């Protein structure tokens, strides 16, 4: 790629789009930028980039930019079937994402994590594990910093621990991490990927490019992930909570690697079966990298969890509040529900991602959830699924704020209120972090009730 001789259109001036534009401008490229949603943050970023030489493109001038530019750098927030990338593809021009550019120029050893659930936790665990073993590591990609911004910062002795989403995988083909981790595959993002076949294929892309000198760390207990072993040339290392796998496994309540006991699950600061799987994946990565397993055990046991993922916010008036705003699909919500030990009021709703919610409500009937408050854009779809499943302990609210206040007023001492929406936040919020922060403010009594 000849930066000074080509023109780049950066579409979507989000975190990754800004990182891409800065990277290209620093290398003398001619950069054009476009975003169809221009809020104050985007406007500020565009002004800053324009001062460095980037050219803003209006919607009216977009066809001219398609003709003039050689490469489209596409934000993961823009689907690959959007008219803009379709126009570039029809013109026979290159489409890449920020992570694809980073993959071509990154010197650090890459550890990439994908899957439906657990990505952020596993990335955070690995990042901490490496640091606790004396390595320099940065969490990046779909969590932490944009990977492209680390190209110059990280050297050959360092580690880039990358969270990779299915959205990013749409434009990612050149990444060959030294270790690729796939946590699990469950129904998600069908509003964008149309069907499970497309979604599963995108997830498999992370291991398809691996060579014989690289490693695929795969969840043996997930049938779809287990099948990825036939799609990679990389060396497969398993993790399993159900059998003695060739890799990391659970035995007699302890995490083991290649037959050696590392630590008891009861010693971990975080609980739940999902975190046992997360720890098993990390133990497999540690074994592949040849880390000091005693230091690894101490690191994983001291891990305290990820913000907005089954995060205990505390207690107010005898009611516990749990923020699982990151639970944006049915599988994640069910994992959060399984962790509850008290009678629970569950907040569900937001922007629909194409799920069938009937299995969720079928499972809620035999859980500690005593009431569900349904809110947001998809509240009626949730309501119909609940009624079809025979789950009748429900309330309906139009918006997030009223739903939280209702849940707070309904909860009795000794009960818990769990935000685990099984839905995207994008009907009312910029992201799940903003939704979780709003929940904390309202639930713990900091917000105004008028």
Contacts of 425 (CB under 8 A, 6+ apart): 325, 328, 350, 351, 431, 432, 434, 435
Give the number of other CB atoms < 10 A from CB of residue 402: 14
> CA neighbours within 13 Å on the CB side: how many for 183?
27
Average pLDDT of span 46-50: 95
pLDDT of residue 447: 42
Note whether 85 and 74 are within 8 A (CB): yes
Alpha-carbon distance of 299 to 137, in angstroms, equals 14
C-alpha span between 398 and 375 (Å, rounded): 5
Residue with the larger pLDDT of the pair 31 and 331: 31
Question: Partners of 323 in the beta sheet?
Answer: 311, 419
pLDDT at 157: 96
So what's the pLDDT on residue 449? 41
Q: What is the rounded CA–CA span in Å between residue 231 and residue 238?
A: 15
Q: How many CB atoms neighbour CB 55 within 10 A?
A: 15
DSSP string, 392-421: --EEE-SSHHHHHHHHHHHPPTT-EEEE--
H/E run at residue 245: none
Q: What is the pLDDT of residues 217-267, one digit of tens each?
A: 999 999 999 999 999 999 999 999 999 999 999 999 999 999 999 999 999
Strands 247-251 and 235-240: parallel
The pTM of this model reads: 0.84
Surface-to-core class of residue 87, CB atoms within 10 Å of its CB (0-12 exposed, 13-18 middle, 19+ buried): middle
Burial call 2-25: b when 16+ CB within 10 Å, e when fewer: ebeeeebbbbbbbbbbbbbbbbbb
DSSP 193-239: H-SHHHHHHHHHHHHHT--TTSEEEEETTSHHHHGGGGG-SSEEEEE
Largest CA distance in the chain: 67
In whole angstroms, give the CA distance from residue 207 to residue 198.
15
Give residue-wise pLDDT tens across range 94-153.
999 999 999 999 999 999 999 998 999 999 999 999 999 999 999 999 888 899 999 999
Highest mean pLDDT, choosing among 42-46, 246-250, 305-309: 246-250
């Amino acid at each position: 790629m000849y930066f000074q001789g080509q023109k780049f259109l950066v579409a979507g001036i989000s975190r990754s789009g800004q990182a891409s534009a800065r990277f290209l401008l620093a290398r003398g490229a001619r950069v054009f930028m476009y975003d169809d949603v221009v809020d104050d943050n985007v406007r500020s970023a565009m002004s800053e980039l324009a001062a460095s030489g980037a050219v803003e493109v209006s919607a009216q001038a977009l066809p001219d930019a398609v003709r003039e530019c050689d490469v489209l750098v596409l934000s993961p927030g823009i689907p690959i079937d959007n008219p803009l990338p379709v126009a570039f593809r029809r013109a026979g021009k290159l489409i890449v994402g920020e992570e694809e550019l980073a993959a071509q120029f990154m010197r650090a050893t890459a550890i990439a994590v994908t899957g439906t659930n657990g990505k952020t936790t596993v990335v955070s665990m690995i990042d901490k594990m490496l640091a606790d073993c004396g390595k320099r590591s940065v969490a990046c990609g779909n969590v932490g910093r944009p990977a492209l911004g680390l190209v110059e910062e990280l050297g050959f002795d360092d580690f880039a621990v990358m969270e990779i989403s299915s959205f990013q995988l749409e434009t990612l083909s050149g990444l060959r991490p030294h270790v690729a981790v796939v946590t699990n595959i469950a129904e998600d993002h069908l509003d964008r990927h149309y069907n499970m076949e497309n979604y599963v294929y995108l997830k498999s892309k992370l291991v398809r490019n691996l060579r014989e000198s690289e490693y695929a760390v795969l969840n043996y207990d997930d049938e779809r992930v287990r099948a990825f072993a036939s799609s990679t040339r990389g060396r497969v290392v398993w993790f399993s909570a159900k059998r003695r796998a060739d890799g990391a496994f659970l035995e007699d309540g302890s995490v083991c690697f290649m037959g050696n006991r590392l630590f008891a699950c009861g010693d971990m600061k975080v609980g739940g079966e999902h975190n046992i799987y997360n720890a098993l994946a990390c133990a497999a990565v540690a074994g592949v990298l040849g880390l000091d397993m005693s230091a690894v055990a101490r690191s994983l046991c001291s891990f305290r969890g990820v913000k907005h993922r089954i995060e205990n916010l505390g207690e107010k008036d005898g009611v516990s509040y749990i923020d699982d705003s990151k639970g944006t699909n049915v599988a994640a919500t069910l994992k959060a529900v399984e962790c509850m030990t008290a009678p629970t009021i569950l907040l569900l709703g937001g922007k629909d991602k194409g799920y069938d919610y009937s299995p969720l409500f079928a499972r809620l009937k035999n859980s500690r959830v005593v009431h569900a408050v349904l809110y947001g854009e998809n509240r009626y779809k949730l309501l119909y699924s609940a009624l079809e499943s025979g789950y009748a302990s429900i309330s309906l609210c139009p918006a997030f704020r009223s739903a939280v206040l209702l849940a707070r007023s309904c909860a009795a001492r000794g009960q818990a209120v769990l935000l685990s929406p099984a839905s995207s936040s994008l009907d009312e919020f910029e992201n799940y972090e903003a939704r979780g922060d709003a929940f904390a403010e309202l639930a713990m009594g900091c917000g105004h009730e008028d």
